[in-house]
Amino acid sequence: MGDLRSQIDSLTPAQKADLLDAVWESLETDAALTDAQRAELDRRIARHEQHPSDVISWEQVKATLSKKP
| Alpha helices by DSSP H, 1-69 | 2-9, 13-30, 35-50, 58-67
Residue 32: φ, ψ to 5°: -70, 135
Secondary structure of residue 53 in the 3-state scheme: coil
Cβ atoms of 19 and 8 closer than 8 Å: yes
Cβ atoms of 12 and 20 closer than 8 Å: no
pLDDT tens by residue, 50-64:
999 999 999 999 999
Domain spans in the chain, listed from the N-terminal domain onward:
1-32, 33-69
pTM over 0.85: no
pLDDT tens by residue, 9-21:
999 999 999 999 9
CA 22 to chain centre: 14
Q: How confident is the model at residue 6 (pLDDT cuts 50, 70, 90)?
A: very high
